[in-house]
Amino acid sequence: MKESNLHIGIFGRRNTGKSSLINLLTGQDVSIVSDFPGTTTDPVKKSVEILGIGPAILIDTAGIDDLGEIGSKKIQKSKEVIRLVDCALLLIAGNQFGDYEVQLIQQFQKYEVPYLIAHNKSDIDKIVDITRIAIKRYSKAETIDFSTINPADKERLITAVKRIIPEPAFQISSLIGDLIKPKDVVLLITPLDSEAPEGRLILPQNQTIRDALDHHCITVVVKESEITDFLKLGVTPAMVITDSSIFGAVSAIIPEEIPLTSFSILFARLKGNFDAFRKGTPHISNLSEGDSVLILESCTHQTSCEDIGRIKIPMLLQQFTGKKLHFTMIAGLSELPRNVSDYSIVIQCGGCMVTRKQLINRINSFIGAGVPVTNYGMTLAYLHGIFERATAIFGEADDQLTTSDV
């Protein structure tokens, strides 16, 4: 099971050839190319298969030197992209390197985004030594000279991109591979409520099934209404994975000696800072009257009365604490609140629709401010009184997937 597509951001001043580069790499006229400065407005995304890299999403951004009130908004949008990408290309042209580029480099460094500097339009002006010297004052990044109109330069650029891609982006991550062994029986419990998509399973369930099959497990999938029927067969599963929304009912049926966790908790380990989530979850018991709770949901979807983030978790939190709490929901990758310390706890979804880098950069803002963080699965396990059981299978300290590998 592979991590979400690699995100590559293209940054630079207006008319450095960012859109031309996107079109070169995709082989399509995806971004509008014009001699008129400021043509690109909102970031443009394009999925592409890059030989030797695999599936990637290229993000074309507005010029960092755009002017006026609208220009300032475009620049802000471009800067927001930095915390969402796995690596970046900083384009310069005409040997221009100054404050605009330095500001981008500082943002790359802040969010630990690997990057390279590409001097474009070398068919007109090749990069000169004085430019390279200026760059070296602020950056140790590789700098290459190329032109989007030279076909041979495309391969040179792709080779350079491969050198800066962070190692985890190439790695195949496993949800349960280190928790089971071949021929183990893995029982997956997948409720089909109003939140389930018509005619298919949700992504975490699909990925967990595939991961179990990849590790040669005997994989059994049932709804919650068939758990007892399965247990009557006399087969003892090596582990049980359930949807977090039915933790309470499932834990009452599955014998204590059988390891039990949820799809969301597995994704907390794959995508988030598992150790921070595990440490932050018990702070639920410290919530006071009027505290603010921030719920981060990394995708957007239509809601129903059974929605976990918007309905179930707020209701259960107030029932559990006996306190009136204030809830804020942010969906997708929208901008975070400016004052993160206003919140007493942050609850992040599993993050199945975003990259690990994107999720980590969102929650790190809160971790840095000392705000406890947790995720949907761990929250629901805690509220149902089975937090220790639901996380026991991962051992005392699962350092394998923490921020150190991002």
Among candidate residues 221, 240, 264, the one where a domain is terminated:
264
Residue 226: the pLDDT is 96
**Long-range Cβ contacts of 228-235 (<8 Å, 24+ apart):** 228/253, 230/187, 235/185
Distance (Å) of CA 200 to CA 211, 305, 353:
17, 20, 16
Task: Looking at the structure, tell me whether residues 165 and 295 fall in a common domain.
Answer: no
Residue pair 186/217 in contact (Cβ under 8 Å)? The answer is yes
What does the pLDDT profile of the chain (406 residues) look like in tens digits?
A: 445 678 999 999 999 999 888 888 877 655 444 444 444 445 788 888 887 777 889 999 989 988 777 778 888 888 888 988 989 999 999 999 999 999 999 999 988 899 999 999 999 999 999 999 999 999 999 999 999 888 888 889 999 999 998 765 555 478 999 999 999 999 999 988 666 667 778 888 999 999 999 999 999 999 999 999 999 999 999 999 999 999 999 999 999 999 999 999 999 998 889 999 999 999 999 999 999 999 999 875 544 446 888 899 999 999 999 999 999 999 887 778 889 999 999 999 988 878 888 888 889 889 999 999 999 999 999 999 999 999 999 986 444 444 333 3
Rounded Cα distance between 218 and 189, Å, is 14
Domain membership of residue 131 (yes or no) is: yes
Domain membership of residue 390 (yes or no) is: yes
Residue 196: the pLDDT is 61
Task: Looking at the structure, tell me whether residues 220 and 352 fall in a common domain.
Answer: no
For residue 152, the domain's CATH number is 3.40.50.300
Task: Looking at the structure, tell me whether residues 247 and 284 fall in a common domain.
Answer: no
Q: How many domains does the chain have?
A: 3
Domain membership of residue 1 (yes or no) is: no
Q: Which domain holds residue 216?
A: 185-264
Task: Looking at the structure, tell me whether residues 10 and 122 fall in a common domain.
Answer: yes
Among candidate residues 238, 264, 290, the one where a domain is terminated:
264
Task: Looking at the structure, tell me whether residues 281 and 217 fall in a common domain.
Answer: no
Task: Looking at the structure, tell me whether residues 161 and 14 fall in a common domain.
Answer: yes
Rounded Cα distance between 79 and 62, Å, is 9
Amino acid at the residue 359: L
Task: Looking at the structure, tell me whether residues 213 and 147 fall in a common domain.
Answer: no
For residue 257, the domain's CATH number is 3.40.50.11420
Task: Looking at the structure, tell me whether residues 141 and 197 fall in a common domain.
Answer: no
Domain membership of residue 20 (yes or no) is: yes
Label residue 94 left, alpha or beta by phi (over 0 means left) and psi (-120 to 50 means alpha). left
Residue 30: the pLDDT is 52
Domain membership of residue 327 (yes or no) is: yes
**Residue 348: what are its φ and ψ, rounded to 5°?**
-100, 140
Residue 79: the pLDDT is 87
Domain membership of residue 178 (yes or no) is: no
Residue pair 366/346 in contact (Cβ under 8 Å)? The answer is yes
Residue in the structure block whose two tokens are 């599936």: 55
pTM (predicted TM-score): 0.70
Rounded Cα distance between 281 and 59, Å, is 35
